[in-house]
Structure 1
């Protein structure tokens, strides 16, 4: 490895007789340094989430221009945590898994993590909600996150929740990826999983390197080169070398090549883009052009747009780990102390609690993976990143048509289409939310038929936290004409199934005539 921190640590070559699959170097850090970096990672997540919160998905397909101010002031963090606690969904989702490790140990089975998040009280969207629905209805991971069962498999969800994996595995990117692998597949697959794997690896490397460029490029070695995720991030790195002082030119190149959405039904044919790889590209944009400067990193990863609270939270968390808590500029930590004892919503954990838990878990992981603890000195068996297996979602599937339905499902609804797949968007809900509310436990029972064959029997709960995020879908059909029939088995006077839009896929994209 290169560019390792040389201050406050010692580098020692391991025995030449060590197995070839073991690390070739060790790094010794004091417990004080490790704790400072863990604090920096968690604190910077909160800072980035707070800073970018007001702009989240308000700038889709466009950047936030320099002249537009983004507020930051003393007391802002506490005010937001008290008055808008739902903003920190990417943090309290992280903490769901941290809490399972704390209660059930490092060997907690994935079912413990899946059940904890599926039954939590917080609201979820996209891949998280699709995965939750699958878990609550008897499906297990990794099938719950697979793209055939989850139209949002490539979405950003695990990417914004994977911070814990890298913060638990200082200097051990492969271990970070392994920790996150089963959890990430609860709700994601393919590029959606790679986003979390990549971020976990960057967090891990940020403990042992002070070179942002190195962290970005070395962590990418965990991702298969054949994947679209790898290709996207490689382009961002290439364009940074080509346009080293112009992040906006890089941003435009990202938009030109990587802004098409294939998976997420809400983003297809729209500027809205919650795909993992393009939002990860904005994280890398902030890290590379920020060059280790916390303010520049915050500004660029936020002003790139789209998921502009999660992206600076991720970029800031990685940089905060590299710098350590004490070196995060005072400007960004103003008011942080008064917020560090506030429990995040839906948890009994504050930042101060997480700092302590994170340190305890990290030390255990170090010892489990060839490291040693001797008093205040922690020797980490540093790992060279290795590529994980290749997964790709929606291969050979191209959206070709979005057609409005805008009807309530009564007894039956049918449609014909030509292609290889479809998604019916919509929701099951109370007719009058003010009187019935999201707390209703009523669920519709439905059947889906394709070409006369019953594909599934599906429940459609009206409860918001139990809902099916998309109503119906089917991929990998034979190319040609198909007939779809949807049957509602238990109509109800107080609830409706509203079908909003039909999305059609084929095996070739529509070609522009320009």
Structure 2
């Protein structure tokens, strides 16, 4: 791998810029220190970051959410050869959703400049033709219905606010901010609140900070620890990753021991309606833990990093994509082993689905954006080099989603609201609820937006607008986290529903301000 060299003349020229040693005698740069990176190395690292994402995503593709709450055993073969990437590009291009989601934001910066307002990013994301899920889809619905960021990602407006969504699409923010983790975090803070809040935003900021630091450090353990300084220590996200780091230090040879500890402590999902009381888990922190397990226990080996992150399970294409992208940035495209790059030449010129961008295009665009950002934030261009003004990581503000709430019950409703039967009621005991489901229609009837009045104890909570069109669907039918802690009657009533249309209810989640675990219910 190629290392960054800090010229001796510059070392003495910039006052107060001497690097220091951390507690493990590892090099740690100081705020404002000027670092030199050649243009060729910058390009190589940017290519390594983008290519790494595609490689990791492709490798983990056949395993995604097939192993929930369990690791993928060493005996399970995961195929890899020169045909894999081309096959997915041609037959299952939706696999690369975490890449083409990144490219939405890259494209806005490219078309509207690096000062493009958050609203342009939000509208480009909401009006795109690709399908979305979880926090992304909830945010799309919010934006299309006039709830703009940061409210579109706020947990009371978005039941998926702690989910993985921004974490898997935040790579661009770090790749455009070499050695500038606070700049990466600022981009992440603004765009992350389009679809997430709290831990969901921290996941993206943490990933972006690791990318940023991977341009200037070649010690993955240090990168993992240093990037965490951008996240508030009071947050569960920080505590989860700090635990993984500690488990690694206690036993740096056995990644499965860290996996077991993370599984025991950090797999409880309280927000995501699809994951509460189920083995499915798309929460940001546990999936970030699997990124970090791959990065730490992979010990700089590209194949081991990708394989370990994949075998941790859950979102096992996105997690190795992040891990491989970060490591690819650290070592550069040229140092990714040929075995793992086999077949990439066949796809680098192919546009990702829903975009007019290929890897080759984003290699160039990413280089230009990083060059502009370096010069915008105190650096400069000097011949065949760039001088980067290093930023020591700073902590972003604390946010806590779903604070003081505890899921206590999941039960099936499974009834339909139709023209003949437009109303149903149910009782809950607690302070809040979520009802999942969808709007549907018969045959070739036109798409429509159905309406449903939601009453709590006879008082109108909202009139929910529920599209039948899947692309712009409301991810949940209705929810509320703000009721008093007592028994409530909830009534759903379809408004003016036409023949051939229906609202299908699924599961009901009930929330309480009382922790059932503290009362011994789950002991």
Q: How do 1:34-433 residues align onto structure 2 when only pairs under 5 Å count?
A: 34-410=42-418, 411-432=422-443
Q: 2:492 aligns with which of 486, 489, 493?
A: 486
With the length of structure 2 as denominator, give the TM-score of the two structures.
Answer: 0.94
Provide the secondary structure at the position in 2 that maps to 1:312: helix
| Cα distance between partner residues in 2 of 1:513 and 1:421 | 20
CA distance in 1, matches of 2:160, 2:174: 24
The aligned residue for residue 508 of structure 2 is 502
Mark the CA change 1:6 to 1:39 in structure 2 (over 3 Å): closer, same or farther. closer
- Looking at structure 2, the residues matched to 513 and 218 of structure 1 have their Cα atoms a distance apart, in angstroms, of 37
Is it true that 1:457 corresponds to 2:463 in the alignment? yes
Residue 16 of structure 1 and its aligned partner are, at CA, apart by 4.1
Q: C-alpha displacement at 1:485, in angstroms?
A: 1.6
Number of the residue aligned with 1:28:
36
For 1:312 and 1:507, locate their aligned partners in 2 and report how far apart those are by CA, in whole Å. 36
State the 1:8 CA deviation.
4.7
Contact 1:5 1:208 in 2 (8 A): no
Q: Secondary structure at the match of 1:187?
A: coil
Q: Distance in 1 between matches of 2:333 and 2:113?
A: 27
In 2, are the aligned partners of 1:63 and 1:305 still within 8 Å (CA)?
yes
Paired with 2:522 and 2:191, the residues of 1 have a C-alpha distance of 44
Q: Which moved more, 1:386-395 or 1:452-461?
A: 452-461
Q: Deviation at 1:128?
A: 0.2
3-state DSSP of counterpart to 1:51: helix
| Residue range with higher mean Cα deviation, 371-380 or 222-231 | 371-380
1:405-455 Cα offsets, whole Å, 9 max, x none, are 0110231222221101100011112234xx45xxx4311012222222222
Contact 1:156 1:275 in 2 (8 A): yes
By how many angstroms is 1:509 displaced? Answer: 2.7
Quick one: structure 1 residues 513 and 23, their matched pair in 2 at CA, closer, same or farther if it must change by over 3 Å?
closer
Please tell me whether the aligned partners of residues 3 and 218 of structure 2 are also in contact (alpha carbons under 8 angstroms): no
Between stretches 136-145 and 477-486, larger displacement belongs to 477-486
Q: C-alpha deviations, 1:455-499, integer Å up to 9, x for none?
A: 222210011111000110000321111121222112122322110
Contact 2:192 2:201 in 1 (8 A): yes
Determine the structure 1 residue equivalent to 2:22. Answer: none
CA distance in 2, matches of 1:281, 1:250: 9
How far apart, in 1, do the equivalents of 2:522 and 2:256 lie? 29
- Match in the other structure for 2:24: none
- Structure 1 counterpart of 2:23: none
- 8 A contact 2:2–2:41 mirrored in 1: no
In 2, the alpha carbon distance for the partners of 1:253 and 1:374 equals: 48
Partner Cα distance (1:492, 1:75) in 2? 50
1:125-176, Cα deviation, whole Å (9 max, x unpaired): 0000000000000111000000000000000000000000000000000000
Give the whole-Å Cα distance in 2 for the aligned partners of 1:101 and 1:7. 28
**How far off its partner does 1:9 sit?**
4.9
Q: Which has the larger displacement, 221-230 or 238-247?
A: 238-247
Checking the alignment, whether the CA contact within 8 Å between 1:430 and 1:462 is kept in structure 2 is yes
**Aligned partners of 1:172, 1:357: CA distance in 2, in Å?**
18
Distance of 1:211 and 1:5 partners within structure 2? 13
Distance 1:295 1:287 in 2: 11
Q: What's the secondary structure of 2:402's corresponding residue?
A: coil
Describe the SS at the equivalent of 2:280. Answer: coil
The equivalent residue for 1:446 is: 452
Q: Is the 1:201–1:222 Cα contact (8 Å) retained in structure 2?
A: yes
Preserved contact between residue 2 and residue 331 of structure 2 (Cα < 8 Å): no
Partner Cα separation in structure 2 for residue 9 and residue 61 of structure 1:
46
1:508 CA displacement: 2.1
Q: Conserved in 2, the CA contact under 8 Å of 1:10 and 1:29? A: no
Does the CA contact (< 8 Å) of 1:8 and 1:30 recur in 2? no
Q: How far 1:7 sits from its partner (Å)? A: 4.3
> 3-state SS of the aligned residue for 2:413?
strand
Match of 1:466 among 472, 478, 499: 472
Matched positions, count: 503
Deviates more, 1:440-449 or 1:129-138: 440-449
Alignment gaps of 5+ in structure 1? none
Tell me the distance in 2 between the aligned counterparts of 1:335 and 1:9. Answer: 36
Does structure 1 conserve the Cα–Cα contact (< 8 Å) formed by 2:449 and 2:465?
yes
Give the secondary-structure state (helix, strand or coil) at the position aligned to 2:152. Answer: helix
Q: Where does structure 2 lack aligned partners over 5 or more consecutive residues?
A: 18-29
